[in-house]
Amino acid sequence: MVYRGYQDFLVQELPLPDQGKVIMVEPGDSLTAVLRKLEGEGVTRVDWRWRLLARSQPVTVHVGEYLLEPPMQPAELLAHLDSGKVLQHRFTIVEGWTFSQMLAAIAADPVLVQTIDGPIHPAEIETIAEAIGAPELEHAEGWFLPETYYFVRGERDVDLLARAHQAMQQALDEAWQARDTGLPLETPYELLTLASIVEKETSVAEERSRISGVFARRLNKGMRLQTDPTVIYGIGPSFDGDIRRRDLQTDTPYNTYTRDGLPPTPIALPGRDALFATASPAEEEALFFVADGQGGHTFSTTLEEHNRAVRKLIEMQ
């Protein structure tokens, strides 16, 4: 009877819900402690059968969250705990987010351990620069790569930021090394800055290199960039969603209608595609572009053509 009972135990499926069950293994937890947690949730009953199985199948219990999914037998549970394959959570930094938007999303994440105290202006990065291993960082905008990052419970917000910063450094270096000759950019930081503008100007993948080409040609010709996203960034939190003529005429360090060249810093977090599109702009002649009312842009070589495209857009509205 004892032998038969043990054999039945080995092949029985644990009563797990269809969506699975998450069990947290805390530092110092023994296998028995973990099994007691499962017993408390009605998954199993801790008795001699588990002790016998553990002797025949030794287990090193690793700290972390484990997702137990059906079907799962007792031996499979022990193997899962021994594997150290803890539950992975994910956080996505969205292309075109500002540093402040990214921090707000991180602060709202229910799993990350929160250590950053309140909103931080990108120019006040010194408060967390040391924690992310970038003490030399003077301005945070643009310096975190939009991607999906996987992490385990217990990871801190600054741990994720450190990974995103290192990823951006690598992506920027790769884009800079692959850049075309003749770009009107002297440093990787200037590439990062222009890429952030390209990112904010379009979400259409095939347009990124065309828009970066317009900006590169304008810079090479000594023309102002005259791009609305930089003006909006310069307005800051008071921007109400509508850009007006007076906004284009009000001088700020980020107003590319009133100032030559690039703004002093990036204005958003550019993705990898925007970086490489900026490093290798399309070889065209367009110097202007305007929204076409259908999600894309109309590109023009002359101011006359551009004005016609602007009038057409106004008529569509």
pLDDT digits (tens, 9 = 90+) for 10-37: 999 999 999 999 999 999 999 999 999 9
Domain membership of residue 179 (yes or no) is no
Examine the domain organization and report whether 166 and 271 are in the same domain.
no
Assigned token pair, 196: 């952030």
| Radius of gyration for the alpha carbons in the chain, expressed in angstroms and rounded | 27
Domain membership of residue 180 (yes or no) is no
Examine the domain organization and report whether 129 and 38 are in the same domain.
no
Rounded Cα distance between 119 and 140, Å, is 13
Examine the domain organization and report whether 52 and 96 are in the same domain.
no
Strands (E), the chain: 21-25, 64-68, 89-92, 148-151, 288-291, 297-300
Counted domains in the chain: 3
- Model confidence at 118, pLDDT cuts 50, 70, 90, reads confident
pTM: 0.88
- List CB contacts of 312: < 8 A, sequence separation 6 or more: 298
Structure confidence by residue, pLDDT tens digits, 53-86? 999 999 999 999 999 999 999 999 999 999 989 9
Examine the domain organization and report whether 267 and 293 are in the same domain.
yes
Rounded Cα distance between 309 and 286, Å, is 13
Assigned token pair, 61: 């219990």
Please give the single-letter amino acid code of residue 75. A
